A and B are shown apart, each in its own frame.
Chain A
Amino acid sequence: MKAMHRYKKVDVPFELYEIDILNATDDELIAISEDLGLALNLDEMKKIKEYFKKKGRNPYDIELQSIAQAWSEHCCYKSSKCYLREHLFGIEKDYVISAIKEDSGVVEFDEEYAYVVALESHNHPSAIEPYGGAATGIGGILRDVLCMGAQPVALIDPLFFGRLDTPEDRIPKGTKHPLYLLYGVVAGIRDYGNRVGIPTVAGMIFFDDSYLTNCLVNVGCIGIVKKKNVVPSKVGGVGDLFVLAGGATGRDGIHGVTFASAELDESSEEEARGAVQLGNPIMKEPLIHACLEVVEKGLATGMKDLGGGGLSCVIGEMALASGCGAEVWLDKVPLKEEGMAPWEIWISESQERMMLTVKPEHVDEVLYIFQKWDVPATVIGKATADRILRIYYRGYKVYEMEIDFVVKAVEYCRPYVKRKVKAIDETSPPSNYAKVLLEMLGHPNVASKEWVVRQYDHEVRACTAIKPLQGKINREGHGDCAVIKPTDSWRGIAVTADVNPWMTKIDPFWGTASSFDEMVRNLVAVNSIPHSFADCLNFGNPEKPERMGEFVECVKALGWMAKGFGLPCVSGNVSFYNETPYGAVAPTPTLMGIGIVEDIRKAVTSNFKGKGEVVLVGETFKEFGGSLYCAITGQKSTIVPKTSPRRLKKYVNAMLEAFRRFKIYACHDLSEGGLAVALAEMCIGGGIGCSIDLSGLKGEDYVKLFSESNTRWLVEVENAEEFVKFTSEKGVKAYHIGSVEGDELKIKNLLSISVEKLDDAWRNGLIRFTGW
């Protein structure tokens, strides 16, 4: 404690301090911020001093803590908002019911239903305590979807770790081995997701050295809700009562958001244990049921989950959103442990809690429903007419501030520098094509993720129509998307998660554009119409201009692609400070794409069916920047694949129309490892070979096989010639390159490998580290 003399205990029968900021010097203001773990800078502290000067009094600890929560990067996006607004927001689509404003995006599914989308990071806690961190990440994202009144129907988990072959002696102090983190995170998602009974249907796992000290755990969720039952994240009106439902409040998770808004270092492990919460799926499951019963009966006027910042954020934001104020009786909050100070109760991030606003006449009915499900629920406050938040504790007023001041926080357009990417291509053909392909298939980024996927219950709720693993039973390959059938109709939701950090690392703009392209390709590959997307932007320290430059380039690319293509961004999350003294993460704009499958009976899977001809759709250029080819061969290229939203749109329209006209047996997008890997994956899933001849295509052989150019698909189609004729009429390039047959992948003059051998390489790529 550096500013001890500025803290005065208030004469009340509980712990409450008055913080003398009015007389504090600048140095003391900083000391106060550090002492109390506020993570506020001097400007922000001065702004607070100014505010209290006008009030003519000093703040209590609970007031300062509350501001610190509201102004944290995690809660208010102070570093990212202005760029997001400028480039990404505001893509108008009449089917979007609510984008960005609420905890989750709400989008029309059909006449009766809407789907709900949320995507978030849970990086810092998972780096410290992978099992608990990942589990609570799942818990949090479920609540984000639930609080819109929706039944969660699918979980999606994109994960990023350091290389699994990192030698123990290269692991920096305070960091855990990627394998340990992988085990812990997968187990956390498994144990939580499986126990709450929501299927984990999609995701991705990417290994790169930049994640060694900063693993990334992104969690996404999709829900389904009748449009008439959508519940806003705001107070219904003056006089409404705040009902806090779910688990009791403890000291767990105090300062989680301020912790997530700073760089981790060696000492973080010790200090941060308190910031990692423990989840309880057995509270969550009944909480979901009870909340949905309240929603179904129309008894809640507003609902919001307690996440970062706990009560302090939820009440302020709910009240402000409807122009109300609030009065809170903090001593009503059920506690896990004795002796908690009011400020601790106010900002605790204990899990499994929801806030509902309810008209007074409905309170008894609501409390009965929670009691029936054995979920504690308590009235802790009410909405008032003025825009002021007042908190009482055992009869003493401990907090009185204008909500606008607290919630409408600070905002920075931080300075940034754009990275100059010098075009270099030093690639050359490999000496052995087959060897390169087998190494590619065995690379953990490409190899079978069956070890992970099977540990997740991806079929609970019995709505997973197209599963993450597709093909012959017990010899399945990966699909491009999972498809959920959320209602009784044949309409489905396709979902995919994509980003290519090797590309964004070299060129944040084109890497992000490529990731967007890949997301759209995956959606189209299962015959779904790209409908919306969510982003989770994971970056290093935004106070460093070069990191901010990466962020701005990514956001620009995302905006350019999304606007040009006409795909609305409906929900998102920014996670900065994924940086340690050891380095920052590769720019990682994780994208979660949602497509509408108009009739799931017309969906397409990725494995060869052995019935048709092979057609390559799209053009191949020499674009090896961030490619798997470079990673495997050690060659160098900075030419990250280009794309354009107009070209992508043209191709997508042609593909979707072709799906209607032609019998398409299989379709797969080309991404990491290019054509060669895509062909191999289709063979593996189908347990069948193919004969390919690329001599009709222009260019060097290794480029045709391994380049990762965008906007390309492989299809297995009955009548290849007519298919090619049709697409060329649409101005889309397509090439009949072979047929599905035999038990080998044969590429004329280049390679010939048995499917069994491909399968072996691919299936052992990850489990040689994890064990089977």
Chain B
Amino acid sequence: MELEEIRVAVLRIEGTNCEDETVKAFRSLGVYAEAVHLKQFYSDMIKDEEQRSLFDFHCIVFPGGFSAGDYVRAGAIFSARVKSVLKRDLEEFIREGYPVLGICNGFQVLAELGALPGFDEDKPLADKPEMALGINESNRFECRPTFLRHENDGKCVFTKKIEKGKIVMFPVAHAEGRVIFPRGREEDYLERLKENDQIVFRYVDERGNYAGYPWNPNGSIYNIAGICNVKGNVFGLMPHPERVFWRYQHPNWLENPESPGDGRAVFESVIEYLRKF
């Protein structure tokens, strides 16, 4: 696919945020990206020129921040609305190998949708959620930089341009980001994730060691910050790559103002994937 042909949709409902910076990140790499309200996929009241189908796009992003105030549970309302109007389309989209990204709230949405951990390639949305993003161990919203080690061997289409073992800095900003797997089955889940090369990012300290709070800002099991599905085309993470797209968004960036931000590689990776699609 040519660069100019690539179309990215950043989905939103009422109370979504972070969509503007996510759209901007994609656009600055030369692809078409727009923020699309969920209503544009189904509502009759929307004018023709604003109506959309999921298959108008080659990449779907659930952006970070909040959605619908994150009442009930973070991401739950957004997920329920997607399920009610887009379930079949989204399953087909994923099955065909198109990439889907969930950042922060988007990760929560993907978890609630049953799209992650996504062990079953033929059934990309599980009937019930198989993981949860629980309240941070610190019991409060935290906005802070985090170091992540990239641990993927090459399955995740969003991190192909980041070498394995590299440490990057993406910030987090969430109150519910603690990765939880069903009780009693944690080991089993971790084994499968490792075996399938589904673990993408893990929280580390400034020296690259797996460490506790505040380096692991939420108490996630196995320091997990982001995982992909078994096929590698659905990726969810709590930290925000779009907030470190440019160097000036990093802390302490003044010494090196022109280099790209750490998060840019996520967007570049998926674009490269789509160009070969």
Contact = CB atoms under 8 A, between A and B. Distances in A.
Contacts of B251: 467, 469-471, 473, 476
Interface in B114-144: 138, 140-144
A455 B21 contact: no
A195 B66 CA distance: 6
Nearest to A611: B255
Interface string A183-218: 000000010001111000000000000000000000
A618 interface: no
A231 interface: no
Interface stretch (B3-11, B12-20, B177-185, B192-200): B12-20
Nearest to B24: A462
A457 interface: yes
Contacts of B215: 474
A600 B143 contact: no
Interface stretch (A280-288, A548-556, A561-569): A280-288
Contacts of A471: 251-252
Interface in A353-385: 368, 371-374
A460 B18 contact: yes
Interface residues of B, number: 45
Given A282-B15, A372-B39, A601 B143 contact: no
B69 A281 contact: yes
Contacts of B243: 459-460, 462
Given A460-B173, A462-B249, A603-B254, A197 B18 contact: yes
A384 to B, nearest CB: 32
Q: Which of A473, A485, A603, A605 gathers most chain B CB within 10 Å?
A: A473
A456 B142 CA distance: 7
Q: Which of B14, B138, B173 gathers most chain A CB within 10 Å?
A: B14
B57 to A, nearest CB: 19
A601 B254 contact: yes
A368 B45 CA distance: 8
A374 B243 CA distance: 28
A455 B141 contact: yes
A454 B206 contact: no
A391 B251 CA distance: 55
Contact of A372 (B45, B140, B249): B45
A457 B173 contact: yes
Interface in A587-612: 600-601, 603-605
Interface residues of A, number: 43
Contacts of A601: 248, 254, 257
Given A282-B15, A285-B14, A471-B252, A461 B69 contact: no
A5 B159 CA distance: 78
A465 interface: yes
Interface in A436-475: 453-465, 467, 469-474
Interface string A699-717: 0000000000000000000
B14 A286 contact: yes
Given A372-B39, A465-B248, A601-B257, A286 B144 contact: no
Nearest to A602: B254
A372 B173 contact: no
Contacts of A457: 65, 141, 143, 173
B46 A372 contact: yes
Contact of A194 (B45, B66, B147): B66
B252 A462 contact: no
B69 A460 contact: no
Contact of A474 (B20, B24, B214, B253): B214
Contacts of B73: none
Contacts of A470: 251-252
A461 B141 contact: no
Contact of A195 (B15, B47, B147, B257): B15
A454 B140 CA distance: 9
A197 B66 contact: yes
B146 to A, nearest CB: 9
B65 A473 contact: no
Nearest to B15: A282
A190 B248 CA distance: 24
Nearest to B246: A462
A282 B45 contact: no
Nearest to B257: A601
Interface string B63-88: 00110111100000000000000000
Contacts of B173: 194, 457, 459-460
A454 B71 CA distance: 21
Contacts of A467: 251
A252 to B, nearest CB: 18
B47 A368 contact: yes
B69 A190 contact: no
A462 B242 contact: yes
Q: Which of A197, A373, A463, A472 gathers most chain B CB within 10 Å?
A: A197
Contacts of B66: 194-195, 197
Contacts of A456: 141, 143
B42 to A, nearest CB: 13
Contacts of B254: 601, 603-605
Contacts of A472: 252
Q: Which of B24, B65, B215, B242 gathers most chain A CB within 10 Å?
A: B65
Contact of B145 (A281, A473, A600, A604): A473
Contact of B142 (A196, A455, A476): A455
B45 A371 contact: yes
Contacts of B158: none
A470 B248 CA distance: 13
B252 A455 contact: no
A603 B253 CA distance: 10
B107 interface: no
Contacts of B249: 459, 462, 464-465
A455 B37 contact: no
Contacts of A197: 17-18, 65-66
Interface in B15-58: 15-18, 20-21, 24, 37, 39, 45-47, 50
Nearest to B19: A197
B171 interface: yes
A191 B17 CA distance: 14
Interface string A466-500: 01011111101000000001000000000000000
A459 B69 contact: no
A473 B144 CA distance: 9
Given A285-B14, A285-B17, A372-B37, 19 more contacts: A194-B66, A195-B70, A196-B15, A196-B17, A197-B18, A282-B14, A282-B68, A283-B14, A371-B45, A372-B46, A373-B37, A374-B39, A454-B142, A457-B65, A460-B65, A465-B248, A473-B169, A473-B206, A474-B215
14 contacts: A283-B14, A372-B45, A372-B46, A373-B37, A374-B14, A453-B143, A456-B141, A457-B143, A459-B143, A460-B18, A460-B243, A462-B24, A462-B245, A465-B249
Interface of B: 14-18, 20-21, 24, 37, 39, 45-47, 50, 65-66, 68-71, 138, 140-145, 147, 169, 171, 173, 206, 214-215, 240, 242-243, 245, 248-249, 251-254, 257
**Smallest CB-CB A-B distances: 8 pairs:** A197-B17, A462-B21, A282-B15, A601-B257, A282-B69, A457-B173, A462-B243, A286-B14
